[in-house]
Amino acid sequence: MAEVIAEQGIQEILAQLGIEEINNGASTGGKWFKTRGERIDSYSPVDGRLIASVNSATEVDYEAVILKAQEAFKEWRLIPAPKRGEIVRQLAEKIRFYKEPLGKLVSYEMGKSLQEGLGEVQEMIDICDFAVGLSRQLYGLTMHSERPGHRMYEQYHPLGIVGIISAFNFPVAVWNWNTALAWVCGDVCVWKPSEKTPITALACQQITKEVFDANGVPEGVSSLVIGGAEIGKLMAEDVRVPLVSATGSTRMGKSVGAAVGARLGRSLLELGGNNAIIITPTADLKMVVPGAVFGAVGTAGQRCTTTRRLIIHEEVYDKVKEALVKAYAQLRIGNPLDQHNHVGPLIDKAAVEMYNAALKNVVAEGGKIIVEGGVLEGPGYESGCYVKPAIVEAENHFQMVQHETFAPILYLMKYKGGIENAIKIQNGVPQGLSSAIMTNNLQESEAFLSQAGSDCGIANVNIGTSGAEIGGAFGGEKETGGGRESGSDSWKIYMRRQTNTINYTDNLPLAQGIKFEL
């Protein structure tokens, strides 16, 4: 691996994870391909230093990976699901062993706080534990037949190759949300990580390789293909990949969904969010402030569940605004590996440009900035990726408010009257991922959760919009894509359902009473 830096002990971390010598961007688990694609340099947004370089995969490399995955599926699907679950259990143990160095690498390559980096690795452990139990619960159904002497049931079979396209903001957890479930279901996985965070992907593949090698798992069950949009396009159009799970922007998701749909494949889309918290007159300010602030500035506003809008009742608007301004004044912005800091950097300078443009445009639309933003300079901010979290008073119909900006910009807006007016504002955006209400009024909370309430895939009461647990299915509606990952019964998208009818008589009656005599 070229030009590894020693800053933040990163060289030692890479050595602990077993990736200090890897510089190739494709793997089928058993071996690393010598890729000759364009070089991808991974720079840390923490300090602007080069972490490492990796050669991206070419179309030839992609083809080799897919062929190996097809071969592996024939063997992997025949291993009993509980046995597959046992291998995933061992993976969870291995990730526990590597939790600290992997969490630090996530923080350093992506820029989120160390606590959030460690938390993301914990999500990997949690979903593996969930999948282990699931491996003994891939239930079908039985039902009564209308024909005497017949038995009917439904069962689930593995799909085949699951293609995974992940985003930079959760560079390891989202991959494992998909793989842990897909593997126990009997599928094999091919992963295209974000080209902005390739080194964490190398680490995940290497950790998985340790466990799979020890258990004799066929080469090709866990594959990695590092590259840009061209790799994602190949995957989306590939009829050999029955399911493509894609996480990222709505623009990207529409492209993937169209390509997969054109070949009648399946897509699992986790796309943009424009998440709001409704704050009612009975809300507890002690819960409102930390919930709203963490939701808005955590991961520097680069979560799909980031709180982007506060819809505040006019009776408490000024009080909430004042409390937020005071809280923002206490935020510490800097190196995310320093646990005293609240806010780290944006992923790169392109993200900084989008942040600046959003603030400029929302002011042009009539927005009023009440907590100034801006790019930080000087010692500790050499990467040019650190910005100040900003608060803007705005209207929900503003173009910039309707748009998801992946940065720490929080929009405040006022509502009058009953909760139905706040819900109308909440639902009045194209996205539908996460939502929340802060209230101590039972009628308001129930209205928010009712059929006429939040139109989002996630609706919370007295907690913020971020911080999903793996037990519940994660995903959203409208331009968020409609996909569900992680917990609950989301495993079903990784399998194909089959209805079986068994006739145990010596007669052949037809359904619906149809007579057919020869």
**What is the DSSP track for 440-452?**
S-HHHHHHHHSTT
Is residue 109 among the annotated active site residues?
A: no
Tell me phi and psi for residue 328, to 5 degrees. Answer: -65, -30
User: Other CB atoms closer than 10 Å to residue 133's CB: what's the count?
Assistant: 11
Token match 């409704």: residue? 278
Distance CA(196)–CA(169), nearest Å, equals 9
233-247 as b/e, with b when 16 or more CB fall inside 10 Å? ebbbebebbbbbbbb
Q: For the chain, what's the residue count?
A: 518
Residues 88, 94: Cα–Cα separation, whole Å: 10
CB 320 within 8 A of CB 310: yes
Alpha helix (H) residue ranges in 378-474: 399-402, 419-427, 442-449
Q: How far apart are CA 384 and CA 346, in angstroms?
A: 9
18: number of Cβ within 10 Å = 15
The candidate with the shortest Cα–Cα distance to 309, out of 198, 402, 216, is 402
Catalytic residue among 270, 404, 479, 485: 270
* Run of H or E including 294: helix 285-297
Residue 431 one-letter amino acid: Q
3-state secondary structure 93-155: HHHHHCHHHHHHHHHHHHCCCHHHHHHHHHHHHHHHHHHHHHCCCCCCEEEECCCCCEEEEEE
The per-residue b/e assignment along 404-439, b for 16 or more CB within 10 angstroms, e otherwise, is bbbbbbbbbbbbeeebeebbebbbbbebbbbbbbbb
Cβ neighbours around 471 below 10 Å, total:
12
Cα separation of 44 and 168, whole Å?
12
User: What's the burial of 360, exposed, middle or buried (CB within 10 Å: 0-12/13-18/19+)?
Assistant: exposed
Closest CA to 330 of 406, 388, 416, 284: 388
Identify the active-site residue in 128, 189, 204, 304.
304
* Tokens linked to 307: 């709180």
Residue 481 DSSP code? -
Q: Is the dihedral of CA 308, 124, 461, 271 positive or negative?
A: positive
| 304 tagged catalytic | yes
Radius of gyration of the chain (CA): 25
Instruction: Return the structure tokens found at 189.
Output: 């996985």
The Cα 503–Cα 480 span in angstroms is 45
Query: Rounded to whole angstroms, how far apart are CA atoms 89 and 130?
Result: 9
Phi and psi, residue 253, nearest 5°: -65, -40
Which residues are marked as active site? Answer: 270, 304
